[in-house]
Amino acid sequence: MSQCELVLLGFFVISLITGVTVGLVHSRMLTRALTLLYVLVHVAFTLCCWAHLGETVFGYFTFDPLGVLLLSVLSLLTITTVYHGFIHLSDALPKAYSIYHAALIGLVASMSGAYLANGMTTVWIFVEATTLAVAALIYHDRTRQALEATWKYVFVCSLGIALAYLGILFLGFTVHDVRLLHLSFDSISEIARMANPLYLKIAFVFVVVGYSTKMGLFPMHTVTVDAHTVAPPPISAFISTTLMNVGFLAIFRIYALFSATSILPFMNHVLILSGTLSLLVAAGYMLKAKHNKRMLAYSSLENMGIVAIGLGIGGIGYYAAILHVVLHSLTKAGLFYQIGQSHKVMGTYELDQSGNYMNLYPAGATALLLGFLCITAIPPSGMFISELYLMKSMVVSGNWFLLTITALLLCFVIYALLTRVLHIVYSPPREKPIHEPHQVNPLQTISQYFLFGLVVFICFAQPAPFRELIESIVNTLPK
């Protein structure tokens, strides 16, 4: 057994043993210790994947550039999410504390497997595993609203993933060579070259609709929005970033495999349409959003729409899409952590009951303002670079109408976010808050400043290994 095989097998075995132990032994001290140990294991696993970039393990996993890039983002956000989870659950009962962290470990392991999987069957298994893990986390508060969101999430996501898998399975059955039916990405590439273009189009539509439940794209975006609303803030950060990246990766892999066929223009039109409708829906709902977490959830829909448009435009839009995925993950995670702190300070997620945040908690209010600049792509946000590349790709390709629509919808989004963030930070509450203000240690906000700082840094300098990794991904796509 090679070193890579030992590392991968060891990672999944440790994930299983740690998750089961944490879930069964209801000890806060042991749970905290094992979770911290697991974070270190995940970081070490990610570094090993970097060291063996491009290698295939067991025939089912490949340490390819995009998978390793998103795995690195996951590793970083696992550290911050575990930290904020410890804070958020400081008053939780030992059993709830243990179940939460066991499900979190399962979610991290499942997403890691989905990033590195090199076949549709393997992807399907790990994506479905993320659904089950997220369901346990959404239901953490055990409220009626949480139960409704949990069942909706499990049902819609399972249905969507099944549709995506059936689309590819249908495509495979059109080929009579049974050797190609194991549905690895290499075999799908061979199938695509000999399949009827109509079948390819049907399969791609199924994949986009199915995995939009994870990516949070129109038309299956509602399930993720509801999940954000009721999940604990650290989990909302995960759902809105690393889990959405799982959906993006699944769609991207099929897009890359089909891009050498005649349906490339069709796929681009589907992605651009889905992305534009996502922007439209996000802008409309954000203008009337009255729930702070729901506001950020629709912001995620908007940003995934930008990613889909970048992928559909092509050219430099490919680079913009992948860069935007990474920067959105860092920014949105920081914002959800901050909204969790604002809830503790103000005792509410309701916009009308929020206000005077700068007076109540200056460190958090400043972080919220910085996060607003980052998520709306206002310089010095690194997301300004990714959106600038997106606009440039539209100009180069002559998509002036799309450029106009995108810019107009982004203006609505910026206005909606600006009015709500400024109200939270500076204006008095429109309604009397239900709970009295609580104090938050300013040190708890350091993680958000760190994440936003990375986004600002990338606006001015993209480290060579980071840039070269994205370029190696883009180079596999049609020019």
pLDDT in tens, 198-224: 888 888 998 898 888 888 888 777 777
Measured over all CA atoms, what is the biggest interatomic distance in the chain, rounded to whole angstroms? 69
Q: Nearest CA to 469 among 323, 325, 311?
A: 323
Contact 239, 70 (CB under 8 A): no
Residue type, 212: S
d(Cα 50, Cα 42) in Å, to the nearest integer?
13
**pLDDT > 90 fraction of the chain, expressed in percent and rounded:** 47
Q: How far apart are CA 59 and CA 55, in angstroms?
A: 10
Residue 291 bridge partners (DSSP): 350
380 preceded by cis ω (within 30°)?
A: yes
**Band of pLDDT at residue 229, cut at 50, 70 and 90:** confident
In angstroms, the CA 298 to CA 142 distance is 24
Find the mean pLDDT for residues 221-228: 76
- The Cα 213–Cα 110 span in angstroms is 16
* Mean pLDDT to the nearest integer, 434-439: 72
Q: What percent of the chain has pLDDT over 70?
A: 96
| pTM score of the predicted model | 0.93
Residue 134 structure tokens: 């997220």
Smallest CA-to-CA distance from 343 within 375, 368, 373 is with: 368
Contact 246, 304 (CB under 8 A): no
Q: Residue 239 in 3-state DSSP?
A: helix
Q: At 92, which helix (H) or strand (E)?
A: none
Cβ contacts of 362 within 8 Å, gap of 6 or more: none
With H, G, I as helix, E, B as strand and everything else as coil, classify residue 314. Answer: coil
Give the integer Cα–Cα distance in Å for 247 and 244: 5
- Rounded Cα distance, 289 and 333, in Å: 19
| 280-304: pLDDT as tens digits | 999 988 888 888 888 888 999 999 9
Give the Å distances, CA to CA, from 231 to 81, 103, 410.
Answer: 13, 13, 27
What token pair was written down for 17?
A: 């043993």
Residue with tokens 């990794």: 469
DSSP H helices, 287-382, are 292-313, 316-346, 357-360, 362-375
**What is the C-alpha separation between 79 and 382, in angstroms, rounded?**
22
Position 98 pLDDT exceeds 60: yes
Q: Please report the pLDDT score of residue 1 as a whole number.
A: 66
CA separation for the pair 122, 163 (Å, rounded): 15
Distance CA 255, CA 477 (A): 9
| pLDDT tens-place string over residues 102-141 | 999 999 999 999 999 988 888 888 998 999 999 889 888 7
For position 175, what pLDDT does the model report?
59
Question: Measured in Å, how far apart are the chain's first and last C-alpha atoms?
Answer: 39
For the CA atoms of 21, 23, 26, 29, what is the dihedral angle to 10 degrees? 60
Q: Helix or strand or coil: residue 61?
A: strand
Strand partners, 184: 119
How many of the other CB atoms lie within 10 Å of CB of 453? 14
Q: Which residue has the higher pLDDT, 409 or 195?
A: 409
The DSSP 8-state label assigned to residue 27 in this structure reads -
Secondary structure class of 276 (helix, strand, coil): helix
Q: By C-alpha distance, which of 97, 110, 81 is closest to 16? A: 110
Q: How many residues does the chain have?
A: 479
- The four Cα atoms 182, 188, 191, 193 give a dihedral, to 10 degrees, of -160
One-letter amino acid for residue 218 of the chain: F
Q: Which bin fits 433, alpha (ψ -120 to 50), beta or left (φ > 0)?
A: beta
How wide is the angle at C-alpha 80 spanned by C-alphas 75 and 86, nearest 5°? Answer: 125
Give tens-digit pLDDT for 33-61.
999 999 999 999 999 999 888 888 887 89
Other C-beta atoms lying within 10 Å of the C-beta of residue 435: 12
Question: Given this model, what pLDDT does residue 180 score?
Answer: 52
Which of 124, 154, 305 minimizes the C-alpha distance to 217?
305
Residues 6+ apart with CB under 8 A from 17: none
Q: What is the structure's pLDDT at 441?
A: 85
Q: b/e string for 161-182 if b means 16 or more Cβ within 10 A? A: bebbbebbbebbeebeeeebee
